[in-house]
Amino acid sequence: MQVWFNPSLVIDQHVRSIAAELEDFGPEFDPVVRPADPKFGDFQVNGVLGHAKRQKANPRELGQKLIDALLASGVFDPEMVELSLAGPGFINFKLSSAFLWQWLQAYSTPDDYQSGARELKHGRKVVIDYPSANTAKQAHIGHLRPMVIGEAIARLLDFCGADTIRDNHIGDWGTNFGTLIMKIKRDNIDLDTLEGESALATLDQLYKDGSALEKEQPELRDVSRDELVKLQNGDPDNTALWQQIVDISMAAFDKLFEQMGVHVDMALGESFYRDKVERIYEELTDAGLAEESEGALVVWHDEVKKFARDNERPYPFNIRKKDGASNYATTDLATILYRVEEFKADEVIYLTDARQQDHFQQLFLTTEKWFKAKGYPLPEMSHVWWGTILGEDKKPFKTKSGESIKLQALLDEARERAYSVVTEKNADLSEDERRDIADAVGIGALKYADLCSNRTQDYVFDWNRMLSFEGNTAPYLLYAVARINSIFRKGGASPEDSFAEASPLETEPEHALARKLMGFVNALELTLNDLRPHFLCTYLYELASAYSSFNNADRVLVDEPEIKARRLLLCARTRTVLKTGLELLGIRTLEKM
Ligand code: ARG
């Protein structure tokens, strides 16, 4: 029997196809494969009980019939996998030690680990919309999550075989440009003289000052509005100013992307769609979806209470403002059409915080109806949203004076704090080495803390916890990798060795670790199904813990060559999976630390 990379998938397929041929089951039988209680096996097939109820049959009898048929099919070699009946018709599959051992030998390189994962999203064209910040504003802590979660999801999709397009849908066409241009002209500011890092900070300040000025002198609002209209109508001076502002913003973001390891393919922002909105008004009106309401063009979704027209506080999807201007919704409608027509997207994933849930719900509902009316292929659409980063006081995390924390300041502090920790542990390393380790540990800790909790929940920002070497943290995982590296250095071996003289698994911790390694692809699957990276984090933490138990119980560098080789093989596989998993989360691993 050949060892399958992804046993749960193979079990699912075989159980389905064999059951389909059985009189008592048939093609309508719909089993679910789950991880089993480790006492009984590795995987459990559920579904016989429900099926038996519908058939008014005895579940245990049906379960036994299915087991007999599975065994008779010859697919499940009893030396490799043991089948047993439990409870009211559950079927447990326990992979034998021989199976685990062959599995470990068959799958060794990162490429082997990927080959099974590639089937998950094979060839699917996926547009990922992130981090999609607004221009002319400095990045703050609120921009951490779209960068970190977006990059992790993009990497996972790439790894699992998707054909991804990472599109940074920047907000570069907002009403703020009116105020900003008004203020720039009033102060006679030459944007060319603004330099480097402070340029965006200056723009940020100019906008704030401009808004304050508008409050003092309301007549200035008309000036700003005129500047905005001029910009929207293509006035060359305002367009040139706008372009300079966008360039300054993009340069600042690029600097952050580089430090954060974010790689986007393109930035087709809101402005890109400005000449593509007329078609939206026409098509949605023609399809009978959009209608005028108090001068604006809106879409109602009567089937959803809060978006229905007879709601006490009417809340339609507003796609054209009273003054005739397009808005966030219009550009998003134009954007999804473009992604389907130009990129042939099968799937589009949007990343923003929780506050935009209504927007995306309305966008998706509108798109479904509109595409159906037009016969356009409908992509799968998801909104990946998240909770707030809180301070110790459980309120949104801010500076002491109540301002939002700049993202650059956060990255710098992460490195500095990590540097102190690293210096304490490794005073003998050179300054350069410690700085490099601190960069990986600091930025990695920041990212991991953002990824490891369920994204839809708020989390409390805690430097000490995220930089701790204990618990579900980046330093703990990075340290596990470094510890494995040091075993190889000490043993004069390499993780790429073939470990030919290794003898089969023996101890309980070896088996437990092998089983955990086999679960990698299931963790990826779980993570992708829900687009929740914390599943992968939990898996990596459990793997590192299984490794640590193994390492504490079973000495690796023993005298017996076949035991040493077997244990080194386990170390090598653990290292590969930890490194691959951390890289998918955007975390750089270290040789030493
Ligand atoms: N620029 C928006 C913001 O900062 C996020 C854009 C998300 N993407 C989208 N296609 N709407 O809130």
The CATH class of the 7-95 domain is alpha beta
pLDDT of residue 268: 97
Rounded CA separation 143/411 (Å): 12
The CATH class of the 407-584 domain is mainly alpha
Q: Is residue 97 within 8 Å of 82, Cβ to Cβ?
A: no
Q: Which ligand 1 atom sits closest to the C-alpha of 353?
A: 12
DSSP helix/strand/coil, 228: helix
Distance of CA 201 to the CA centre of its chain: 29
What pLDDT, in 10s, does the model give residues 11-66?
A: 999 999 999 999 999 999 999 999 998 888 999 999 999 999 999 999 999 999 99
Rounded CA separation 383/350 (Å): 5
CA of residue 564 to ligand 1 center, whole Å: 53
In one letter, which amino acid is 494? S
Axis-axis angle for helices 534-553, 561-584 (nearest 10): 160
Cα radius of gyration (the chain): 28
Rounded CA separation 101/104 (Å): 5
CA of residue 415 to ligand 1 center, whole Å: 29
What pLDDT, in 10s, does the model give residues 438-454?
A: 999 999 999 999 999 99
Length of the chain: 593
User: Ligand 1 pocket test: which of 356, 383, 407 has the largest number of ligand atoms within 8 Å of its C-beta?
Assistant: 356
Provide long-range contacts, Cβ within 8 A and 24+ apart, for 427-434: 429/592, 433/592
**Average pLDDT of span 405-423:** 97
Q: Is residue 277 within 8 Å of 330, Cβ to Cβ?
A: yes
What pLDDT, in 10s, does the model give residues 493-505?
A: 999 999 999 999 9
Q: Is residue 267 within 8 Å of 334, Cβ to Cβ?
A: no
Pairing of β 125-129 and β 347-353: parallel
**Average pLDDT of span 83-101:** 96
Mean pLDDT, the chain, as a whole number?
Answer: 96
Q: Which ligand 1 atom sits closest to the C-alpha of 356?
A: 12
Q: Which ligand 1 atom sits closest to the C-alpha of 351?
A: 7
pLDDT of residue 550: 98
**Average pLDDT of span 184-193:** 94
pLDDT of residue 31: 96
Query: Containing H/E element for 429?
Result: none
Q: Is residue 140 within 8 Å of 388, Cβ to Cβ?
A: no
Q: Is residue 348 within 8 Å of 380, Cβ to Cβ?
A: yes
Q: Is residue 4 within 8 Å of 10, Cβ to Cβ?
A: yes
**At residue 195, does pLDDT exceed 90?**
no
DSSP helix/strand/coil, 192: helix
Query: E strands, 105-246, where?
Result: 125-129, 163-167
Q: Which ligand 1 atom sits closest to the C-alpha of 133?
A: 4
From residue 483, give the alpha-carbon distance in Å to each of 41, 110, 410, 420, 468.
31, 19, 28, 20, 16
CA of residue 301 to ligand 1 center, whole Å: 22
| Poorest-pLDDT segment among 94-103, 108-117, 229-238, 283-292 | 108-117
Nearest CA to ligand 1 atom 7: 132
In one letter, which amino acid is 47? G
Q: Is residue 256 within 8 Å of 133, Cβ to Cβ?
A: no
CA of residue 146 to ligand 1 center, whole Å: 10
For residue 313, what pLDDT band results from cuts at 50, 70 and 90? confident
CA of residue 477 to ligand 1 center, whole Å: 33
For 84, list phi and psi in degrees, rounded to 5. Answer: -145, 155
Q: Output the pTM of the full model.
A: 0.96
Q: Is the dihedral of CA 199, 201, 204, 208 positive or negative?
A: negative
DSSP helix/strand/coil, 65: helix
Nearest CA to ligand 1 atom 11: 332
Nearest CA to ligand 1 atom 4: 133
Give CATH 3.40.50.620 domain extents, the chain: 126-172+269-386
pLDDT of residue 457: 97
Rounded CA separation 533/362 (Å): 26
For the domain spanning 126-172+269-386, the CATH number is: 3.40.50.620
Rounded CA separation 469/467 (Å): 7
Question: At which residue do the structure tokens 């004069």 appear?
Answer: 492
Residues with CB under 6 A from ligand 1: 129, 132-134, 169, 171, 332, 335, 350, 352
Rounded CA separation 484/569 (Å): 11
What pLDDT, in 10s, does the model give residues 380-391?
A: 999 999 999 999
What pLDDT, in 10s, does the model give residues 509-550?
A: 999 999 999 999 999 999 999 999 999 999 999 999 999 999
For residue 314, what pLDDT band results from cuts at 50, 70 and 90? confident
CA of residue 208 to ligand 1 center, whole Å: 21
In one letter, which amino acid is 411? L
DSSP class of residue 379 equals: P
Axis-axis angle for helices 176-186, 196-216 (nearest 10): 100
Give CATH 3.30.1360.70 domain extents, the chain: 7-95
CA of residue 169 to ligand 1 center, whole Å: 6
CA of residue 42 to ligand 1 center, whole Å: 43
Q: Is residue 389 within 8 Å of 396, Cβ to Cβ?
A: yes
According to the 3-state scheme, what is the secondary structure of 247-301? HHHHHHHHHHHHHHCCCCCECCCHHHHHHHCHHHHHHHHHCCCEEEECCEEEECC
**Average pLDDT of span 356-374:** 98
Give CATH 1.10.730.10 domain extents, the chain: 407-584
User: Ligand 1 pocket test: which of 132, 271, 351 has the largest number of ligand atoms within 8 Å of its C-beta?
Assistant: 132
pLDDT of residue 483: 96
**At residue 148, does pLDDT exceed 80?**
yes
Closest-CA residue to 98 (of 497, 500, 514): 514
Contacts of 204 (CB under 8 A, 6+ apart): 136, 137, 138
